[in-house]
Protein backbone atom coordinates (compact mmCIF):
# COMPACT_ATOMS: atom_id res chain seq x y z
CA UNK A 1 0.00 0.00 0.00
CA UNK A 2 1.34 3.43 -0.97
CA UNK A 3 2.77 5.55 1.83
CA UNK A 4 1.29 8.98 2.36
CA UNK A 5 3.82 11.79 1.72
CA UNK A 6 4.14 13.94 4.81
CA UNK A 7 5.98 17.04 5.95
CA UNK A 8 7.21 14.90 8.84
CA UNK A 9 9.09 12.49 6.56
CA UNK A 10 12.82 13.25 6.59
CA UNK A 11 13.29 12.73 2.85
CA UNK A 12 16.86 14.03 2.99
CA UNK A 13 17.87 11.11 5.21
CA UNK A 14 16.58 8.48 2.78
CA UNK A 15 18.50 7.16 -0.20
CA UNK A 16 17.05 7.77 -3.65
CA UNK A 17 16.01 4.12 -3.82
CA UNK A 18 14.16 4.37 -0.51
CA UNK A 19 12.36 7.52 -1.67
CA UNK A 20 11.26 5.86 -4.92
CA UNK A 21 10.09 2.81 -2.99
CA UNK A 22 8.10 4.95 -0.54
CA UNK A 23 6.43 6.90 -3.35
CA UNK A 24 6.05 3.86 -5.65
CA UNK A 25 7.86 5.66 -8.43
CA UNK A 26 11.17 5.45 -10.27
CA UNK A 27 13.59 7.33 -12.50
CA UNK A 28 11.26 6.68 -15.44
CA UNK A 29 8.57 8.74 -13.68
CA UNK A 30 4.84 8.08 -13.56
CA UNK A 31 2.35 7.06 -16.20
CA UNK A 32 -0.36 9.49 -17.28
CA UNK A 33 -3.02 7.30 -15.65
CA UNK A 34 -1.17 7.14 -12.34
CA UNK A 35 -0.54 10.89 -12.33
CA UNK A 36 -4.27 11.56 -12.84
CA UNK A 37 -5.15 9.24 -9.97
CA UNK A 38 -2.65 10.95 -7.68
CA UNK A 39 -3.88 14.38 -8.75
CA UNK A 40 -7.36 13.44 -7.55
CA UNK A 41 -5.89 12.12 -4.31
CA UNK A 42 -3.45 14.93 -3.42
CA UNK A 43 -5.00 17.88 -5.25
CA UNK A 44 -3.37 20.56 -7.34
CA UNK A 45 0.12 21.86 -6.63
CA UNK A 46 -0.90 25.37 -5.66
CA UNK A 47 -1.38 27.51 -2.60
CA UNK A 48 -5.02 28.29 -1.95
CA UNK A 49 -6.01 31.90 -1.49
CA UNK A 50 -9.31 32.27 0.32
CA UNK A 51 -10.62 35.40 -1.33
CA UNK A 52 -13.49 37.21 0.34
CA UNK A 53 -16.37 38.06 -1.95
CA UNK A 54 -17.09 41.71 -2.64
CA UNK A 55 -20.34 41.39 -0.69
CA UNK A 56 -18.61 39.92 2.37
CA UNK A 57 -15.94 42.63 2.22
CA UNK A 58 -18.72 45.23 2.07
CA UNK A 59 -20.51 43.75 5.11
CA UNK A 60 -17.24 43.62 7.07
CA UNK A 61 -17.08 47.42 6.95
CA UNK A 62 -20.05 47.47 9.35
CA UNK A 63 -18.25 45.29 11.91
CA UNK A 64 -17.60 48.01 14.46
CA UNK A 65 -19.38 48.77 17.75
CA UNK A 66 -19.46 52.47 16.90
CA UNK A 67 -21.10 51.73 13.55
CA UNK A 68 -23.67 49.63 15.42
CA UNK A 69 -24.54 52.68 17.55
CA UNK A 70 -24.82 54.90 14.48
CA UNK A 71 -27.11 52.43 12.72
CA UNK A 72 -29.23 52.10 15.85
CA UNK A 73 -29.44 55.90 16.08
CA UNK A 74 -30.49 56.14 12.44
CA UNK A 75 -33.18 53.53 13.03
CA UNK A 76 -34.48 55.29 16.15
CA UNK A 77 -34.54 58.77 14.61
CA UNK A 78 -36.28 57.57 11.45
CA UNK A 79 -38.83 55.63 13.52
CA UNK A 80 -39.54 58.64 15.70
CA UNK A 81 -39.95 60.83 12.63
CA UNK A 82 -42.54 58.43 11.22
CA UNK A 83 -44.28 57.52 14.49
CA UNK A 84 -44.21 60.70 16.51
CA UNK A 85 -43.81 63.26 13.76
CA UNK A 86 -40.53 64.47 15.21
CA UNK A 87 -38.37 66.65 12.94
CA UNK A 88 -35.39 64.28 12.97
CA UNK A 89 -34.99 63.45 9.26
CA UNK A 90 -31.87 65.62 9.05
CA UNK A 91 -30.27 63.63 11.88
CA UNK A 92 -31.11 60.38 10.10
CA UNK A 93 -29.71 61.63 6.79
CA UNK A 94 -26.42 62.81 8.34
CA UNK A 95 -25.90 59.55 10.24
CA UNK A 96 -26.63 57.36 7.19
CA UNK A 97 -24.34 59.53 5.00
CA UNK A 98 -21.49 59.15 7.50
CA UNK A 99 -21.93 55.37 7.65
CA UNK A 100 -22.01 55.08 3.84
CA UNK A 101 -18.91 57.27 3.39
CA UNK A 102 -17.04 55.23 6.00
CA UNK A 103 -18.06 51.98 4.30
CA UNK A 104 -17.07 53.08 0.79
CA UNK A 105 -13.62 54.30 1.85
CA UNK A 106 -12.84 51.08 3.75
CA UNK A 107 -14.26 48.87 1.00
CA UNK A 108 -12.20 50.44 -1.78
CA UNK A 109 -8.95 50.49 0.19
CA UNK A 110 -9.18 46.89 1.39
CA UNK A 111 -10.13 45.80 -2.13
CA UNK A 112 -6.93 47.30 -3.53
CA UNK A 113 -4.84 45.67 -0.81
CA UNK A 114 -6.38 42.22 -1.31
CA UNK A 115 -5.87 42.46 -5.08
CA UNK A 116 -2.18 43.24 -4.54
CA UNK A 117 -1.77 40.38 -2.06
CA UNK A 118 -3.50 37.95 -4.42
CA UNK A 119 -1.23 39.01 -7.27
CA UNK A 120 1.79 38.20 -5.13
CA UNK A 121 0.49 34.71 -4.32
CA UNK A 122 -0.20 34.00 -7.98
CA UNK A 123 3.48 34.38 -8.92
CA UNK A 124 3.83 30.62 -9.37
CA UNK A 125 5.92 28.54 -11.78
CA UNK A 126 3.69 28.10 -14.86
CA UNK A 127 5.24 24.92 -16.30
CA UNK A 128 7.57 22.08 -15.35
CA UNK A 129 9.55 19.51 -17.34
CA UNK A 130 8.77 15.99 -16.11
CA UNK A 131 9.31 12.38 -17.10
CA UNK A 132 5.91 10.92 -18.04
CA UNK A 133 5.29 7.54 -19.68
CA UNK A 134 9.05 7.09 -19.98
CA UNK A 135 9.63 10.34 -21.91
CA UNK A 136 10.04 14.05 -21.24
CA UNK A 137 6.95 16.25 -21.18
CA UNK A 138 6.17 19.85 -20.28
CA UNK A 139 3.12 20.17 -18.03
CA UNK A 140 1.46 22.81 -15.88
CA UNK A 141 3.31 23.01 -12.57
CA UNK A 142 -0.04 22.91 -10.79
CA UNK A 143 -0.51 19.33 -12.06
CA UNK A 144 2.61 17.94 -10.37
CA UNK A 145 2.01 15.10 -7.92
CA UNK A 146 4.19 13.21 -5.41
CA UNK A 147 6.26 10.67 -7.34
CA UNK A 148 6.68 12.82 -10.46
CA UNK A 149 10.26 13.08 -11.74
CA UNK A 150 11.18 16.70 -12.55
CA UNK A 151 14.09 17.85 -14.73
CA UNK A 152 15.82 21.09 -13.68
CA UNK A 153 18.47 23.29 -15.25
CA UNK A 154 20.07 26.66 -14.57
CA UNK A 155 17.54 29.50 -14.40
CA UNK A 156 14.56 27.26 -13.55
CA UNK A 157 12.23 28.02 -10.66
CA UNK A 158 11.69 24.90 -8.57
CA UNK A 159 7.99 23.95 -8.93
CA UNK A 160 7.64 21.67 -5.86
CA UNK A 161 9.69 20.15 -3.05
CA UNK A 162 12.04 17.63 -4.66
CA UNK A 163 14.43 14.94 -3.42
CA UNK A 164 17.32 15.05 -5.88
CA UNK A 165 18.69 11.79 -7.25
CA UNK A 166 20.95 13.19 -9.99
CA UNK A 167 22.90 16.45 -10.14
CA UNK A 168 25.72 17.92 -12.20
CA UNK A 169 27.41 21.11 -11.04
CA UNK A 170 24.08 22.21 -9.53
CA UNK A 171 23.46 25.12 -7.17
CA UNK A 172 20.24 26.72 -5.95
CA UNK A 173 19.31 30.14 -4.59
CA UNK A 174 17.24 29.41 -1.48
CA UNK A 175 16.96 32.98 -0.19
CA UNK A 176 13.15 32.79 -0.42
CA UNK A 177 13.13 29.99 2.17
CA UNK A 178 16.27 30.39 4.30
CA UNK A 179 17.28 34.03 3.79
CA UNK A 180 20.78 32.87 2.77
CA UNK A 181 21.94 35.07 -0.12
CA UNK A 182 24.62 32.66 -1.35
CA UNK A 183 23.67 29.78 -3.69
CA UNK A 184 23.79 26.33 -2.12
CA UNK A 185 25.60 23.48 -3.85
CA UNK A 186 23.34 20.46 -4.36
CA UNK A 187 24.13 16.74 -4.49
CA UNK A 188 22.04 13.54 -4.48
CA UNK A 189 23.60 11.86 -1.43
CA UNK A 190 21.46 11.37 1.71
CA UNK A 191 22.33 13.30 4.86
CA UNK A 192 22.80 11.54 8.17
CA UNK A 193 21.25 12.98 11.31
CA UNK A 194 18.93 15.95 11.71
CA UNK A 195 19.48 18.84 9.30
CA UNK A 196 17.96 22.28 8.93
CA UNK A 197 16.43 23.32 5.61
CA UNK A 198 19.61 25.23 4.76
CA UNK A 199 21.68 22.07 5.25
CA UNK A 200 19.48 19.71 3.23
CA UNK A 201 21.79 19.64 0.20
CA UNK A 202 19.96 16.75 -1.47
CA UNK A 203 16.67 18.67 -1.49
CA UNK A 204 15.36 21.64 -3.48
CA UNK A 205 12.27 23.53 -2.40
CA UNK A 206 9.31 25.10 -4.14
CA UNK A 207 9.80 28.77 -4.93
CA UNK A 208 13.62 28.64 -5.01
CA UNK A 209 15.78 28.98 -8.13
CA UNK A 210 18.42 26.83 -9.81
CA UNK A 211 21.37 29.16 -10.40
CA UNK A 212 23.50 26.75 -12.42
CA UNK A 213 23.94 23.13 -13.42
CA UNK A 214 21.34 20.46 -14.08
CA UNK A 215 19.54 17.94 -11.92
CA UNK A 216 16.66 15.55 -11.58
CA UNK A 217 14.46 15.03 -8.55
CA UNK A 218 11.34 13.25 -7.45
CA UNK A 219 8.44 15.29 -6.09
CA UNK A 220 7.93 14.68 -2.36
CA UNK A 221 5.67 17.63 -1.55
CA UNK A 222 3.13 19.74 -3.43
CA UNK A 223 0.86 22.66 -2.57
CA UNK A 224 0.52 23.16 1.17
CA UNK A 225 2.71 20.07 1.76
CA UNK A 226 5.77 22.03 0.60
CA UNK A 227 7.98 24.04 2.92
CA UNK A 228 6.69 27.32 1.51
CA UNK A 229 3.14 25.93 1.74
CA UNK A 230 3.68 25.10 5.40
CA UNK A 231 4.77 28.70 6.00
CA UNK A 232 1.70 29.99 4.16
CA UNK A 233 -0.53 27.71 6.22
CA UNK A 234 0.96 28.98 9.47
CA UNK A 235 0.30 32.54 8.34
CA UNK A 236 -3.34 31.73 7.51
CA UNK A 237 -3.87 29.98 10.84
CA UNK A 238 -2.33 32.77 12.88
CA UNK A 239 -4.80 34.09 15.41
CA UNK A 240 -6.21 37.45 14.43
CA UNK A 241 -4.59 40.18 16.46
CA UNK A 242 -6.62 43.18 17.58
CA UNK A 243 -4.82 46.42 16.80
CA UNK A 244 -4.35 49.12 19.46
CA UNK A 245 -6.73 51.43 17.59
CA UNK A 246 -9.44 48.77 17.45
CA UNK A 247 -9.07 48.13 21.18
CA UNK A 248 -9.24 51.85 21.96
CA UNK A 249 -12.34 52.26 19.79
CA UNK A 250 -14.03 49.28 21.46
CA UNK A 251 -13.23 50.67 24.92
CA UNK A 252 -14.49 54.12 23.89
CA UNK A 253 -17.67 52.62 22.42
CA UNK A 254 -18.42 50.66 25.60
CA UNK A 255 -17.88 53.80 27.67
CA UNK A 256 -20.05 55.80 25.25
CA UNK A 257 -22.91 53.29 25.40
CA UNK A 258 -22.90 53.22 29.20
CA UNK A 259 -22.62 57.01 29.47
CA UNK A 260 -25.36 57.70 26.90
CA UNK A 261 -27.72 55.14 28.45
CA UNK A 262 -27.12 56.58 31.91
CA UNK A 263 -27.70 60.17 30.75
CA UNK A 264 -30.75 59.16 28.71
CA UNK A 265 -32.36 57.29 31.60
CA UNK A 266 -31.54 60.11 34.00
CA UNK A 267 -33.00 62.71 31.59
CA UNK A 268 -36.15 60.62 31.08
CA UNK A 269 -36.61 60.14 34.82
CA UNK A 270 -36.04 63.84 35.44
CA UNK A 271 -38.62 64.81 32.79
CA UNK A 272 -41.20 62.48 34.29
CA UNK A 273 -40.38 63.81 37.78
CA UNK A 274 -41.20 67.32 36.60
CA UNK A 275 -44.46 65.99 35.16
CA UNK A 276 -43.67 66.30 31.45
CA UNK A 277 -45.59 63.94 29.17
CA UNK A 278 -44.22 60.45 28.63
CA UNK A 279 -43.94 60.90 24.86
CA UNK A 280 -42.23 64.26 25.21
CA UNK A 281 -39.83 62.89 27.83
CA UNK A 282 -39.00 59.95 25.57
CA UNK A 283 -38.41 62.15 22.50
CA UNK A 284 -36.24 64.56 24.47
CA UNK A 285 -34.17 61.71 25.90
CA UNK A 286 -33.67 60.08 22.47
CA UNK A 287 -32.72 63.44 20.94
CA UNK A 288 -30.13 63.90 23.68
CA UNK A 289 -28.75 60.40 23.03
CA UNK A 290 -28.46 61.01 19.28
CA UNK A 291 -26.79 64.38 19.84
CA UNK A 292 -24.22 62.77 22.14
CA UNK A 293 -23.12 60.26 19.50
CA UNK A 294 -20.01 61.45 17.55
CA UNK A 295 -21.35 60.64 14.08
CA UNK A 296 -18.29 62.00 12.29
CA UNK A 297 -15.73 60.00 14.31
CA UNK A 298 -15.78 56.78 12.19
CA UNK A 299 -15.41 58.76 8.96
CA UNK A 300 -12.60 60.90 10.38
CA UNK A 301 -10.71 57.84 11.63
CA UNK A 302 -11.20 55.96 8.35
CA UNK A 303 -10.07 58.92 6.26
CA UNK A 304 -6.99 59.47 8.43
CA UNK A 305 -6.02 55.79 8.13
CA UNK A 306 -6.69 55.82 4.37
CA UNK A 307 -4.30 58.76 3.99
CA UNK A 308 -1.63 56.81 5.87
CA UNK A 309 -2.21 53.66 3.81
CA UNK A 310 -2.03 55.65 0.57
CA UNK A 311 1.26 57.20 1.63
CA UNK A 312 2.65 53.74 2.39
CA UNK A 313 1.42 52.42 -0.96
CA UNK A 314 3.58 55.02 -2.67
CA UNK A 315 6.51 53.32 -0.93
CA UNK A 316 5.39 49.89 -2.25
CA UNK A 317 4.02 48.77 1.13
CA UNK A 318 0.74 46.87 1.14
CA UNK A 319 -1.62 47.30 4.11
CA UNK A 320 -4.53 44.85 3.93
CA UNK A 321 -6.52 46.24 6.87
CA UNK A 322 -6.87 49.95 7.57
CA UNK A 323 -6.37 49.71 11.39
CA UNK A 324 -2.96 48.11 10.76
CA UNK A 325 -1.67 51.48 9.54
CA UNK A 326 -2.23 52.94 13.02
CA UNK A 327 -0.43 49.98 14.62
CA UNK A 328 2.81 51.13 13.01
CA UNK A 329 2.59 54.25 15.12
CA UNK A 330 2.81 52.06 18.24
CA UNK A 331 5.87 50.14 17.02
CA UNK A 332 8.82 49.90 19.41
CA UNK A 333 10.73 47.02 17.77
CA UNK A 334 11.08 46.09 14.09
CA UNK A 335 12.34 42.60 13.17
CA UNK A 336 13.38 42.70 9.52
CA UNK A 337 14.54 40.02 7.10
CA UNK A 338 18.05 40.66 5.79
CA UNK A 339 18.31 39.30 2.27
CA UNK A 340 16.59 41.53 -0.28
CA UNK A 341 15.10 43.77 2.43
CA UNK A 342 18.00 45.30 4.30
CA UNK A 343 20.46 44.21 1.60
CA UNK A 344 20.23 44.34 -2.19
CA UNK A 345 20.46 40.54 -2.66
CA UNK A 346 23.13 41.32 -5.27
CA UNK A 347 26.63 40.13 -4.45
CA UNK A 348 29.19 42.91 -4.92
CA UNK A 349 32.99 42.85 -4.98
CA UNK A 350 34.09 45.44 -2.44
CA UNK A 351 37.75 44.57 -1.85
CA UNK A 352 40.56 43.01 -3.88
CA UNK A 353 44.04 41.97 -2.76
CA UNK A 354 46.63 41.68 -5.53
CA UNK A 355 50.37 42.25 -5.78
CA UNK A 356 50.63 43.15 -2.11
CA UNK A 357 48.10 45.98 -2.54
CA UNK A 358 44.58 46.31 -1.12
CA UNK A 359 42.07 47.74 -3.58
CA UNK A 360 38.70 49.12 -2.48
CA UNK A 361 35.92 48.92 -5.08
CA UNK A 362 33.00 51.35 -4.96
CA UNK A 363 29.50 50.82 -6.30
CA UNK A 364 26.93 48.27 -5.19
CA UNK A 365 24.81 45.69 -6.94
CA UNK A 366 25.02 44.68 -10.58
CA UNK A 367 25.38 48.21 -11.94
CA UNK A 368 28.84 48.13 -13.63
CA UNK A 369 29.76 51.59 -12.39
CA UNK A 370 32.34 52.19 -9.71
CA UNK A 371 35.90 53.19 -8.98
CA UNK A 372 39.01 51.44 -7.70
CA UNK A 373 41.16 52.90 -4.95
CA UNK A 374 44.07 53.15 -5.65
CA UNK A 375 43.17 53.82 -9.28
CA UNK A 376 46.48 52.64 -10.75
CA UNK A 377 46.21 48.94 -11.55
CA UNK A 378 49.18 46.61 -11.70
CA UNK A 379 49.47 43.82 -14.24
CA UNK A 380 48.53 41.21 -11.64
CA UNK A 381 45.45 43.24 -10.63
CA UNK A 382 44.26 43.32 -14.24
CA UNK A 383 44.98 39.59 -14.44
CA UNK A 384 42.90 38.97 -11.31
CA UNK A 385 39.90 40.73 -12.84
CA UNK A 386 40.33 38.91 -16.16
CA UNK A 387 40.38 35.50 -14.48
CA UNK A 388 37.19 36.38 -12.61
CA UNK A 389 35.60 37.49 -15.88
CA UNK A 390 36.60 34.64 -18.20
CA UNK A 391 36.54 31.72 -15.72
CA UNK A 392 32.84 32.33 -15.35
CA UNK A 393 29.49 30.93 -16.51
CA UNK A 394 27.21 33.81 -15.51
CA UNK A 395 25.91 36.56 -17.79
CA UNK A 396 25.06 40.21 -17.29
CA UNK A 397 21.82 40.99 -19.13
CA UNK A 398 19.46 43.90 -19.65
CA UNK A 399 19.86 47.23 -21.37
CA UNK A 400 21.18 48.77 -18.18
CA UNK A 401 23.30 45.73 -17.31
CA UNK A 402 21.70 45.42 -13.89
CA UNK A 403 20.62 41.78 -13.95
CA UNK A 404 22.62 38.57 -13.75
CA UNK A 405 21.70 35.13 -15.05
CA UNK A 406 23.52 32.41 -13.12
CA UNK A 407 25.45 32.33 -9.87
CA UNK A 408 25.31 35.71 -8.04
CA UNK A 409 28.94 35.26 -6.98
CA UNK A 410 30.06 34.87 -10.59
CA UNK A 411 27.86 37.83 -11.50
CA UNK A 412 29.75 39.95 -8.97
CA UNK A 413 33.06 38.96 -10.61
CA UNK A 414 31.76 39.96 -14.04
CA UNK A 415 30.61 43.36 -12.79
CA UNK A 416 33.90 44.09 -10.98
CA UNK A 417 35.84 43.42 -14.20
CA UNK A 418 33.45 45.61 -16.20
CA UNK A 419 33.93 48.45 -13.70
CA UNK A 420 37.67 48.39 -14.38
CA UNK A 421 37.11 49.19 -18.05
CA UNK A 422 39.77 46.74 -19.24
CA UNK A 423 40.00 47.19 -23.01
CA UNK A 424 39.82 43.49 -23.83
CA UNK A 425 36.65 43.09 -21.74
CA UNK A 426 35.10 46.29 -23.10
CA UNK A 427 35.50 44.99 -26.65
CA UNK A 428 33.78 41.71 -25.74
CA UNK A 429 30.89 43.46 -23.98
CA UNK A 430 30.36 45.86 -26.87
CA UNK A 431 30.68 43.14 -29.50
CA UNK A 432 29.18 39.92 -28.16
CA UNK A 433 27.85 40.74 -24.70
CA UNK A 434 29.21 37.49 -23.28
CA UNK A 435 32.42 35.95 -21.95
CA UNK A 436 32.73 33.74 -25.01
CA UNK A 437 33.31 36.42 -27.64
CA UNK A 438 36.26 38.48 -28.81
CA UNK A 439 39.87 37.28 -28.87
CA UNK A 440 39.50 35.05 -25.79
CA UNK A 441 37.95 31.70 -26.79
CA UNK A 442 37.12 29.03 -24.22
CA UNK A 443 38.24 25.54 -25.22
CA UNK A 444 37.55 23.43 -22.14
CA UNK A 445 36.34 23.61 -18.56
CA UNK A 446 36.78 21.82 -15.25
CA UNK A 447 33.48 22.64 -13.50
CA UNK A 448 33.29 23.77 -9.90
CA UNK A 449 33.06 20.92 -7.43
CA UNK A 450 32.10 21.36 -3.79
CA UNK A 451 34.83 18.97 -2.69
CA UNK A 452 37.60 20.41 -4.88
CA UNK A 453 36.37 23.99 -4.33
CA UNK A 454 37.64 25.45 -7.58
CA UNK A 455 36.78 25.94 -11.26
CA UNK A 456 39.20 26.02 -14.20
CA UNK A 457 38.88 27.00 -17.86
CA UNK A 458 41.22 26.65 -20.85
CA UNK A 459 41.35 29.59 -23.27
CA UNK A 460 43.02 30.50 -26.52
CA UNK A 461 44.36 34.03 -26.77
CA UNK A 462 46.21 35.10 -29.92
CA UNK A 463 47.55 31.59 -30.49
CA UNK A 464 48.48 31.14 -26.81
CA UNK A 465 46.83 28.59 -24.51
CA UNK A 466 46.18 29.69 -20.93
CA UNK A 467 44.41 28.10 -17.95
CA UNK A 468 42.41 30.32 -15.61
CA UNK A 469 41.52 29.04 -12.13
CA UNK A 470 39.29 30.51 -9.43
CA UNK A 471 38.31 28.97 -6.10
CA UNK A 472 38.72 29.04 -2.34
CA UNK A 473 41.97 30.75 -1.28
CA UNK A 474 43.22 27.74 0.69
CA UNK A 475 42.72 25.42 -2.27
CA UNK A 476 44.01 27.68 -5.05
CA UNK A 477 47.03 28.97 -3.13
CA UNK A 478 47.98 25.38 -2.39
CA UNK A 479 48.06 24.73 -6.15
CA UNK A 480 50.37 27.71 -6.83
CA UNK A 481 54.15 27.63 -7.00
CA UNK A 482 54.69 31.27 -7.90
CA UNK A 483 52.99 34.65 -7.66
CA UNK A 484 52.97 37.76 -9.83
CA UNK A 485 54.29 40.90 -8.16
CA UNK A 486 54.65 44.17 -10.08
CA UNK A 487 54.42 42.23 -13.33
CA UNK A 488 57.25 39.86 -12.40
CA UNK A 489 57.04 36.20 -11.39
CA UNK A 490 58.52 35.29 -8.01
CA UNK A 491 58.24 32.44 -5.48
CA UNK A 492 55.00 32.45 -3.52
CA UNK A 493 54.76 33.18 0.20
CA UNK A 494 51.67 31.10 1.02
CA UNK A 495 51.63 32.03 4.70
CA UNK A 496 51.50 35.78 4.05
CA UNK A 497 48.72 35.44 1.46
CA UNK A 498 46.64 33.13 3.67
CA UNK A 499 47.05 35.59 6.55
CA UNK A 500 45.68 38.35 4.31
CA UNK A 501 42.79 36.05 3.31
CA UNK A 502 41.93 35.48 6.98
CA UNK A 503 41.95 39.23 7.57
CA UNK A 504 39.50 39.74 4.69
CA UNK A 505 37.30 36.87 5.89
CA UNK A 506 36.91 38.59 9.27
CA UNK A 507 34.99 41.32 7.41
CA UNK A 508 32.46 38.63 6.40
CA UNK A 509 33.62 38.75 2.77
CA UNK A 510 33.20 35.73 0.51
CA UNK A 511 36.65 35.15 -0.97
CA UNK A 512 37.77 33.72 -4.30
CA UNK A 513 41.43 33.43 -5.27
CA UNK A 514 42.57 33.78 -8.90
CA UNK A 515 45.50 32.07 -10.63
CA UNK A 516 46.68 31.15 -14.13
CA UNK A 517 49.04 28.89 -16.04
CA UNK A 518 50.37 29.05 -19.59
CA UNK A 519 50.32 25.65 -21.37
CA UNK A 520 51.59 24.44 -24.78
CA UNK A 521 49.73 25.95 -27.79
CA UNK A 522 48.50 22.54 -28.98
CA UNK A 523 46.59 21.84 -25.77
CA UNK A 524 42.84 21.43 -26.47
CA UNK A 525 41.60 20.07 -23.13
CA UNK A 526 42.48 20.05 -19.45
CA UNK A 527 41.85 17.91 -16.39
CA UNK A 528 42.63 18.25 -12.70
CA UNK A 529 46.15 16.87 -13.15
CA UNK A 530 47.03 19.99 -15.17
CA UNK A 531 46.24 22.30 -12.27
CA UNK A 532 49.66 22.40 -10.61
CA UNK A 533 52.43 25.01 -10.48
CA UNK A 534 49.95 27.81 -11.02
CA UNK A 535 50.80 31.51 -10.70
CA UNK A 536 48.81 33.35 -8.04
CA UNK A 537 47.29 36.69 -9.09
CA UNK A 538 44.95 37.92 -6.36
CA UNK A 539 41.87 37.52 -4.15
CA UNK A 540 38.47 39.11 -4.71
CA UNK A 541 36.23 39.68 -1.68
CA UNK A 542 32.50 40.21 -2.06
CA UNK A 543 29.45 40.71 0.10
CA UNK A 544 25.71 41.29 -0.27
CA UNK A 545 25.76 45.05 0.43
CA UNK A 546 23.22 46.93 2.54
CA UNK A 547 20.70 49.14 0.78
CA UNK A 548 21.40 52.85 1.18
CA UNK A 549 17.74 53.44 2.00
CA UNK A 550 17.92 50.68 4.64
CA UNK A 551 20.79 52.44 6.39
CA UNK A 552 18.79 55.68 6.40
CA UNK A 553 15.70 53.79 7.56
CA UNK A 554 17.53 52.22 10.52
CA UNK A 555 18.90 55.62 11.50
CA UNK A 556 15.43 57.22 11.37
CA UNK A 557 13.96 54.35 13.40
CA UNK A 558 16.59 54.88 16.07
CA UNK A 559 15.85 58.60 16.21
CA UNK A 560 12.16 57.70 16.67
CA UNK A 561 12.98 55.38 19.56
CA UNK A 562 12.38 52.19 17.57
CA UNK A 563 14.85 49.32 17.94
CA UNK A 564 15.66 47.37 14.77
CA UNK A 565 16.60 43.69 14.83
CA UNK A 566 17.82 41.73 11.80
CA UNK A 567 16.61 38.18 11.12
CA UNK A 568 18.68 36.06 8.74
CA UNK A 569 19.78 32.54 7.92
CA UNK A 570 23.38 33.69 7.39
CA UNK A 571 26.29 32.69 9.57
CA UNK A 572 26.78 34.75 12.72
CA UNK A 573 29.98 36.40 11.47
CA UNK A 574 28.32 37.55 8.25
CA UNK A 575 25.23 38.73 10.11
CA UNK A 576 27.28 40.80 12.56
CA UNK A 577 29.25 42.43 9.73
CA UNK A 578 26.10 43.41 7.82
CA UNK A 579 24.42 44.60 11.03
CA UNK A 580 27.41 46.82 11.74
CA UNK A 581 27.18 48.41 8.28
CA UNK A 582 23.46 49.01 8.81
CA UNK A 583 23.94 50.48 12.27
CA UNK A 584 22.01 47.65 13.95
CA UNK A 585 23.17 46.44 17.35
CA UNK A 586 26.07 48.85 17.50
CA UNK A 587 25.41 49.49 21.18
CA UNK A 588 24.75 45.94 22.34
CA UNK A 589 26.78 43.75 19.94
CA UNK A 590 24.41 40.85 20.47
CA UNK A 591 23.59 38.01 18.12
CA UNK A 592 21.18 35.18 18.92
CA UNK A 593 21.30 31.90 17.01
CA UNK A 594 18.65 29.22 16.72
CA UNK A 595 20.51 27.16 19.30
CA UNK A 596 20.34 30.06 21.77
CA UNK A 597 16.55 30.22 21.40
CA UNK A 598 15.91 26.46 21.56
Residues with catalytic roles: 337
Nearest 5 degrees, angle CA 119-CA 121-CA 127?
A: 100
Taking the alpha carbons at both ends of the chain, their separation in whole angstroms is 38
Q: Residue 136 contacts by C-beta under 8 Å, 6 or more apart in sequence?
A: 129, 130, 151
Residue 366 CB: number of other CB atoms within 10 A? 23
Residue 407 CB: number of other CB atoms within 10 A? 22
Q: Residue 438 contacts by C-beta under 8 Å, 6 or more apart in sequence?
A: 424, 427, 428, 431, 432
**Residue 211 near residue 183 (C-beta atoms within 8 A):** yes
Pick from 148, 188, 181: nearest CA to 166: 188
Nearest 5 degrees, angle CA 146-CA 152-CA 155?
A: 130
| Cis peptide, bond prior to residue 410, ω within 30 of zero | no
Q: Residue 254 contacts by C-beta under 8 Å, 6 or more apart in sequence?
A: 65
Pairwise CA distance, residues 502 & 293, whole Å: 71
Pairwise CA distance, residues 75 & 81, whole Å: 10
Q: Residue 539 contacts by C-beta under 8 Å, 6 or more apart in sequence?
A: 352, 353, 354, 384, 473, 497, 500, 501, 504, 511, 512, 513, 514
Q: What is the DSSP pairing of strand 534-543 with strand 480-485?
A: parallel
Pick from 217, 208, 214, 216: nearest CA to 169: 214
User: Residue 549 forms beta bridges with which residues?
Assistant: none
User: Residue 455 forms beta bridges with which residues?
Assistant: 470
Residue 364 CB: number of other CB atoms within 10 A? 20
Pairwise CA distance, residues 591 & 228, whole Å: 26
Amino acid sequence: MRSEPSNETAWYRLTAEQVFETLESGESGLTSEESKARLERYGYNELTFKKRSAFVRFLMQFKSPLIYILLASAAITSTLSLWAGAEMWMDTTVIVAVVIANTIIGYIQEGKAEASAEALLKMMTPTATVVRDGGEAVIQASELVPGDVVILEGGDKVPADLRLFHTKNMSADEAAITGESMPVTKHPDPIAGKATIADQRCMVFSGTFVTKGVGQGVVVGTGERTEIGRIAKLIKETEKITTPLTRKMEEFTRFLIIAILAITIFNFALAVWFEYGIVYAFLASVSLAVAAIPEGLPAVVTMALAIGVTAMARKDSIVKRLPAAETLGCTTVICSDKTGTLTKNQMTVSRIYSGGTDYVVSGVGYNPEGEFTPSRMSEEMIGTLKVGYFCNNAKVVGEDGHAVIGDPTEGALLVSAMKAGIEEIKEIEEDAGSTQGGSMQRLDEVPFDSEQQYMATLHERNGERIIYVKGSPERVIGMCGTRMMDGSIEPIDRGAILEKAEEMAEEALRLLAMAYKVVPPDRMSIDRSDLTDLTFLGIEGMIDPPRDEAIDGVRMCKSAGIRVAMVTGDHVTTAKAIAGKLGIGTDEKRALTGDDLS
